[in-house]
Amino acid sequence: MADITAGQILDEGLAPNVEWDAAERVVLTLVEQSADRTAVLQTLLDAEMAKPEVAGHRVCELAAEIRQAEAAIAKMAKSLNPEMVQAKSLRHMRAANVRWHGGASWVLGQRVGVASVSARRSRCVPAPDGQHTRR
């Protein structure tokens, strides 16, 4: 059985008719290179552990490098976005709503005026009669 590369594993997860763009192909190459380096480091760690007298500092160095390489691979793999879905941050959505709706914002499906937003910032709570009271 032939060895399967990390890039091939990520390719298998693609939906039909979806392709990696140029930047994502560069990331895939980096993932594969990092995975190869991690395999070499693991071989060195296994060889060190097989010695009659194990050098503790060498084992720690190799284990740390393996952990860092694995974290880098996970971070690079997470940066791939084959569906081209962009996450929307609540902060940016609120800013856009303020621009679009003339100084008002939508919070949990309710329109909130500018006075209420500024009142919230100063820890004031709107009373039932419309006046603001201090908490």
What would the pLDDT profile of 1-52 be if each residue is shown by its tens digit?
457 766 677 667 676 777 777 888 888 889 889 999 999 999 999 999 999 9
**What single DSSP character describes residue 109?**
T
Element (H, E) at 7: helix 6-12
pLDDT at 99: 76
Is 0.75 topped by the overall pTM?
no
- Both structure tokens of 114: 């500018």
Phi-psi region of 81 (alpha: psi -120 to 50; beta: other; left: phi over 0): beta
